[in-house]
Homo-oligomer: A and B are copies of this chain.
Amino acid sequence: MKKTEINSVEIARLAGVSRSTVSRVINNYANVPPETRRKVMEVIDAYHYVPNLSAQVLAGKGTRTIGLFVIEAGGHVSGDMLTNLLLASVVEHASSRGYYVLTYIIRNTSDAENVRGVKDIFYQRRVDGGIFIGAANEEPFIEELIAEGFAVGVVDQYLPGRNEGNRIVANFDNEHGMRLAVGYLHELGHRDIGIVNGDMNRFSGIDKYNAFLAAMQERGLEVRDAWVRPGSFHEEAGYLAVRELLQEEQRLPTALVMANDSVAFGALRAFQEAGMAVPDDMSVIGFDDHALSARYKPALTTVAIDFRDMMSSLTDYLIGHIEGAEGTAVRYYSQSKLIRRESCRPIGQ
């Protein structure tokens, strides 16, 4: 039924050369004269011949496959519609280098079946490497994989002193981003600034927290503990955090930094419910530049990150590492920029 299976023996016969020659052409050996190469390539093209990947793998080549693991902690898709962008970046960049992407969703990092799926992908299907999105800072099975010698790329996870073996890391530059956010608010005249943070078991949660304190100190602004709200990187968490803030505190900040734009959306909803206007009664700034941020009412001021470039780089580094390139495995990503929209305004006007 399927199209006639053609193999290297057939190609050799049709091109009037030996199978060795066909193999040498395909694998770009040096000692093949141009004329022979052309002749063989012609037959290959004419018959749309593609080497059988399984046979290549069995003969010692890699699978040229990367596992992409999206962790949906607590039922919340990490990054919401961002996931699609990240996925697309990885797939496109990988395929431009001849790699393809096996995608797997991890709903629950402690679910046995889920974890078995991950192991299967590494052991049975022998992907050359894996990329993890949405991982918590401590994820035992990732550490295991690294210890077992697999090449692993991780977004938003890093602790100094950890085994860096085959770990490639891409992170946001939260320090710079937070400096932009706090700095902008300060320039608008705000001094009473709070934050609704993300999960503290995620690197970006910890890092944003520290970066916020640092940025405030740099500007000589006082941090009020009651205005530093714990949270999680999704809409509902932002909603709840703001509701609690409004309930518990008499004195409110004039501006709030949000862990990301999803959190900010939740916050906007809570403010609206409470009858407070953004930005008139409260300035709000987010992180990430979510696809919807420009369309929200009010349009969300945010610190944008070039996710596409970040994922491309991570993919690039990972494939480089797989193919034996040397060099540091860890990379901080540092491009972030402020997008001014409607959700912040100068104080006292």
Question: Residues on A close to B: CB < 8 A?
Answer: 1-3, 48, 50-55, 57-58, 63, 65, 68, 72, 77, 80-81, 83-84, 87-88, 91-92, 95, 100-105, 107, 117, 120-121, 123-126, 148-150, 235, 265, 269, 272, 291-292, 295, 297
22 examples of A-B residue contacts, CB within 8 angstroms: A1-B149, A3-B149, A50-B124, A52-B124, A52-B126, A54-B55, A65-B102, A80-B81, A81-B81, A87-B87, A91-B103, A91-B104, A91-B105, A92-B105, A95-B104, A100-B102, A100-B117, A102-B102, A103-B103, A265-B295, A269-B295, A292-B292
Q: Quick one: which of B102, B124, B150 contacts A51, CB cutoff 8 A?
A: B124
**Roughly how many angstroms separate A150 CA and B3 CA in the complex, as a whole number?**
9
A95 touches B80 (CB 8 A): no
Shortest beta-carbon distance, A121 to chain B, in Å? 7
**Roughly how many angstroms separate A149 CA and B102 CA in the complex, as a whole number?**
23
Q: How many copies does the complex hold?
A: 2
Residues of B within 8 A of A265 (CB): 295
B88 touches A105 (CB 8 A): yes
Residues of B within 8 A of A107 (CB): 92
**Residue of B with least CB distance to A120:** B50
A58 touches B54 (CB 8 A): yes
Shortest beta-carbon distance, A149 to chain B, in Å? 4
**Roughly how many angstroms separate A3 CA and B101 CA in the complex, as a whole number?**
23
**Residue of B with least CB distance to A50:** B124
Assuming the A-B contacts A83-B84, A149-B1, A269-B295, are A95 and B117 also in contact, with contact meaning beta carbons closer than 8 angstroms in the complex?
Answer: yes
Shortest beta-carbon distance, A61 to chain B, in Å? 10
Residues of B within 8 A of A52 (CB): 58, 124, 126
B83 touches A50 (CB 8 A): no
Shortest beta-carbon distance, A284 to chain B, in Å? 16
Shortest beta-carbon distance, A132 to chain B, in Å? 15
Residues of B within 8 A of A105 (CB): 87-88, 91-92
The 5 closest A-B pairs by CB, nearest first: A81-B81, A1-B149, A54-B57, A54-B54, A50-B124
B297 touches A272 (CB 8 A): yes
Residues of B within 8 A of A101 (CB): 102-104
Residues of B within 8 A of A53 (CB): 54, 124-126
Q: Quick one: which of B48, B58, B269 contacts A58, CB cutoff 8 A?
A: B58
Interface centre among A48, A92, A105, A235 (most CB of B within 10 A): A105
**Residue of B with least CB distance to A116:** B95
Residues of B within 8 A of A150 (CB): 2
Residues of B within 8 A of A149 (CB): 1-3
Residues of B within 8 A of A58 (CB): 52, 54-55, 58
Residues of B within 8 A of A83 (CB): 84
Shortest beta-carbon distance, A275 to chain B, in Å? 13
B297 touches A3 (CB 8 A): no
**Roughly how many angstroms separate A123 CA and B292 CA in the complex, as a whole number?**
39
Interface centre among A63, A100, A126, A265 (most CB of B within 10 A): A100
B148 touches A68 (CB 8 A): no
Residues of B within 8 A of A235 (CB): 295
**Roughly how many angstroms separate A101 CA and B67 CA in the complex, as a whole number?**
10
Shortest beta-carbon distance, A78 to chain B, in Å? 10
